[in-house]
Amino acid sequence: MVKGLAQRITVRLIGGMVLVLAVVLAGLTLSPVSGAQGPDVAAVESKVSVGLFSGKTVVRVFGSTATPDVPIRLELTGPDREVKFTRDVRRFGIKVAQTIEDAPQVIPAIRAELSSGDIPLRREGDALEDALIREGVVIIRPNAIKMEPSGLFFAEIPLPPSAPVGDYKIEIFQEGALRTVAKIKLAEESFSIQQQGFVALVSRGAKDYALFYGLICVLVAVAAGWITERVFRNRR
């Protein structure tokens, strides 16, 4: 363990408009940790719910560190998804997607990396990484963690609208501290995005009662068409 890195990090997550969360700031009331026994993390239970009128989901992370002069880095990792990377090849003049065989098959559906200070986050020249950044699956924000001289820090991670439901993990590292190469994990927190209310009802219904759901869709369509015709009949 590296001396002088005694941490007290509290992480709190706040979802977008629909919000969320039961936060247990256990760490604050405890007596200071003596020595350098790694990070002292507050217990956090939180979840982000997605309702019908949810706004943009923004995850906010608060914390504090004993060594504000050492830059930190934050990684958010979403639930795994199976993917297929493809490359365009021309066949008979039109482009056809060809699978790239040695590309990863499973990646996090969302990954965000933020830093305080100028820690390089991007791996240069990685074509797969570039594709993920372009599609918004990987979010890279250098210098996006606001670090106060007192050691308090704050960051906002904008999750794209396509952020899927599931479990998300947030890890905070100190990297290259005191010229050591290894990155030191300071804290790890998790939260989950869940659907709620009507949205949850629809997506559960569509999955668990697919036939019934399909019938309802047809019924909605027929009813909507019939009502429209009745309402506008005399105006045509």
Sheet-wide strand order for 44-50: 20-23, 44-50, 184-195, 166-174, 72-77, 111-115, 138-141
CB of 103 to another protein, least distance (A): 8
- Read off the DSSP letter of residue 35: S
Looking at the Cβ atoms of 140 and 200, the one nearer to another protein is 200
Burial class (CB in 10 A: 0-12, 13-18, 19+), 203: middle
Looking at the Cβ atoms of 180 and 228, the one nearer to another protein is 228
Looking at the Cβ atoms of 134 and 179, the one nearer to another protein is 134
CB of 20 to another protein, least distance (A): 15
Q: Write out the residues near another protein by the rule CB under 8 A.
A: 50-57, 81-88, 93-97, 99-100, 103, 109, 127-128, 130-132, 134-135, 161-162, 164-166, 195, 198-200, 202-203, 206-207, 210-211, 213-218, 220-222, 224-226, 228-229, 232-233, 235-236
Non-local CB neighbours of 93 within 8 Å, separated by 6+ positions: none
CB of 19 to another protein, least distance (A): 15
Between CA 230 and CA 176 the distance in angstroms is 71
Between CA 8 and CA 52 the distance in angstroms is 37
CB of 11 to another protein, least distance (A): 25
Helix (H) or strand (E) holding 205: helix 197-208
Looking at the Cβ atoms of 17 and 43, the one nearer to another protein is 17
CB of 3 to another protein, least distance (A): 44
